[in-house]
Structure 1
């Protein structure tokens, strides 16, 4: 039963990605209904996870607090001092008697599901990933899905550059966006996919190297190794063709964290391995860093050219930052209501940033969350990073053979956290669900081992 539900969970996560990241109402509703149903079934059948119980409880607490506060922002308040000042103007001009923290209660109420879906995905993943083997199955499936989407994106970009899945493409015609509308979201996803496929290549290559010659299955392992290598190359190539400056830079930082360790510890899990001289480890480290730098300089030319042509001070995303900070300073305690950025920011927009276009997002996950939820958001963000830091520290301390999965989690978290400072990838439901499922698997691996189950020798 758990295996069947796990397969359904993986399938739903992948399906949530495909229709433009489920940014439209119908795919989002399907993803939400499916994930909530899986969550209810999982908790009723299997109860709380054992080894990651404390993380499960903290995540559930954050979900309750954030959704409760979002709901409170929409209700009519008996004390008008907490209500947004805009309601006072509405009362004077139009006789409106309603007053709430949110300037758009209906939009804020609808945003509760957008917050809840990634949390429910993470909680469900923790329940289902009760062994290392199941957690690795989730990560392998997500990596292969990312590779498949990268191949689709490359074919689509090469053969039908003006088509996005099945509709005409109107934006980012010069960039590969795969199944997403925005190239920055695609870059975050493809960067994470590159890290996942790099991990799968390492695992399958080591399995092939220790598989005794002549035994059945060796040729199949070789075939799988080459397929994984091709999918890794597809993810990396698609990432470069996205032309996302921040996405490529964030992936570069994540690769600097992850790839050198992977090279140095390629054979670290073998028993009775003679320790390598220190100079050899240093040489491997420098070689890995130089390789990453050369790879970036050779293949990220288009993104580097964009960075040179359009400096940071000319980027609208940075021009609007002072206005966002003014809005936050006026509403830092209670916020203006989740999902109200587009309405609120118009009053703070600097005319020097241009009069064309409408900013419906802050292009900064942290600032938009702060503006929408008030001081509750930075507190929740700090707690989230603190919990992840503790989980990864414990994983680094206690895991041996699967320690590279802990490093994978750290690198991927750095990638997503860095890019979230200049983009809104975490606000796209498809990617948020994908990353939540990924986190649930690496957290499960970091916090424990299989309960009496031994992973297969050749996987």
Structure 2
């Protein structure tokens, strides 16, 4: 029986490391936006999720989150399938099919104006959900959840170091190919600097957490005990990776990405400063004015960082006003498209086809908008009223998770704040960009969320390891 338990433990750890490795691999080839890497990531994650579900079973503490995420996935993908089928008497069919029938005699009619694109987009929606569900299955203890966050943070730091070296030495090369866009900006392993900024902002928050944890471990480690020198080395490595993530973030020159990161930092960093020694029971509670002074100092520090290091992004914001940005010029056209199809949508993944009919000539004739540069509006246009309902449900679930985590966790409460701050970062930037629509980042963020949700809702039970 003991050997059986050991084998199960080894298998569980192997699944966890396979999960982490697959998440990191999905990032590297330009965020897996091309078909082959995306197919590899999808097949791998779906297979890993199925194996984990069979061997591990439904998670305990996060069961209701697991069920909610699975329900949302089933409803959204089910509605996308309904959008591509031909309903009786052309019920709810898009009016474009009537015009197609008059012009070319097409008999097919559905909600989606591009059924093939909608069908292909279902996999893009399912992949991050399956990643999140798989993460909940495997992160059944605090230790495993922290292991996931540690490797995600270190991978972000490692990618930042590599990209800083490449941007300095070979600025016209992106990984192994010639770079054609954003030659003046660091884009990490992505093509778009805004996606890179979201990723590096999240990496900065993760590395800040790892630096905090290793620093506390060092200060709690008595001098002369074995392992202290190792902690010193790890501390310096973590600080270096934190600086690399922050520097790379600044070099993206992404206005919205940097702004969203600093909003998240204003949520997270002051709390870290105030509660640096909160879990030490032998310390007396500090006077209230001490906490206020720390809070103000942390806020001032974050603002000074923005002022000193975000100069290029601030300069871009001053040179190019919002009304001159094409992303904001096309917003009225997107709203008109949504108002015409708010109930059923035009089909998941059909923005490029639909928006061309609503594009304002005043926005210029150059370029093709295949993204709305707004995750929420594009989702609303594609899925109709179902999307805002699903989005509200997702944010409600996360809000309840973080509230419960803040109320119940003590020593690991900073991980709950990390999850809250990162969610704010990604949610804010999604309003002006499409980072969540890049498979690599979507998978990375989903894995991150699964770990912080597991920490927020659970405690490390010894019997969890044996319950497989």
TM-score, structure 1 as length reference: 0.98
1:178, 1:186 within 8 Å by CA — same for their partners in 2? yes
Deviation string, structure 1 residues 104-157 (Cα, Å, up to 9, x no partner): 000100111000000000000000000000000000000000000000110110
Report the equivalent of 2:13: 3
Q: Distance in 1 between matches of 2:216 and 2:163?
A: 29
Secondary structure, in 3 states, of the residue corresponding to 2:359? coil
Report the equivalent of 1:457: none
What are structure 1's unaligned runs of at least 5 residues?
Answer: 455-459
Q: Distance in 2 between matches of 1:329 and 1:118?
A: 28
Q: Distance in 1 between matches of 2:322 and 2:392?
A: 27
Q: Distance in 1 between matches of 2:123 and 2:350?
A: 15
Deviation string, structure 1 residues 316-352 (Cα, Å, up to 9, x no partner): 0000000000000000000000110000000000000
- Is 1:121 aligned to 2:131, yes or no? yes
Q: 1:195 aligns with which of 199, 202, 205?
A: 205
Report the equivalent of 1:307: 317
- Is 1:398 aligned to 2:434, yes or no? no
- Is 1:316 aligned to 2:326, yes or no? yes
Q: Distance in 2 between matches of 1:215 and 1:365?
A: 51
- Is 1:252 aligned to 2:262, yes or no? yes
- Is 1:22 aligned to 2:32, yes or no? yes
- Is 1:147 aligned to 2:157, yes or no? yes
CA 1:453–1:271 in 2, change beyond 3 Å: closer, same or farther? farther
1:35, 1:121 within 8 Å by CA — same for their partners in 2? yes
1:271 positional shift: 1.5
Secondary structure, in 3 states, of the residue corresponding to 1:98? coil
1:229 positional shift: 0.1
1:448 positional shift: 1.1
Report the equivalent of 2:345: 335
- Is 1:166 aligned to 2:176, yes or no? yes
1:453 positional shift: 7.2
1:131, 1:453 within 8 Å by CA — same for their partners in 2? no
Report the equivalent of 2:388: 378
After the TM superposition, which residues 263-282 of structure 1 pair with which residues of structure 2 at under 5 Å, given as runs? 263-282=273-292
1:342, 1:361 within 8 Å by CA — same for their partners in 2? yes
Deviation string, structure 1 residues 258-279 (Cα, Å, up to 9, x no partner): 0000000001011232000000
Report the equivalent of 2:8: none
- Is 1:432 aligned to 2:438, yes or no? no
After the TM superposition, which residues 35-434 of structure 1 pair with which residues of structure 2 at under 5 Å, given as runs? 35-434=45-444
Q: How many residues align?
A: 455
Q: Distance in 1 between matches of 2:84 and 2:370?
A: 20
Q: Distance in 1 between matches of 2:371 and 2:294?
A: 43
Q: Distance in 1 between matches of 2:13 and 2:281?
A: 31
Report the equivalent of 2:458: 448
Report the equivalent of 2:3: none
Structure 1 runs of 4+ with >4 Å offset: none
Secondary structure, in 3 states, of the residue corresponding to 2:217? helix
TM-score, structure 2 as length reference: 0.96
What are structure 2's unaligned runs of at least 5 residues?
Answer: 1-10
1:335, 1:373 within 8 Å by CA — same for their partners in 2? yes
Secondary structure, in 3 states, of the residue corresponding to 1:82? coil
Q: Distance in 1 between matches of 2:414 and 2:90?
A: 53
Q: Distance in 2 between matches of 1:70 and 1:292?
A: 43
Secondary structure, in 3 states, of the residue corresponding to 1:21? helix
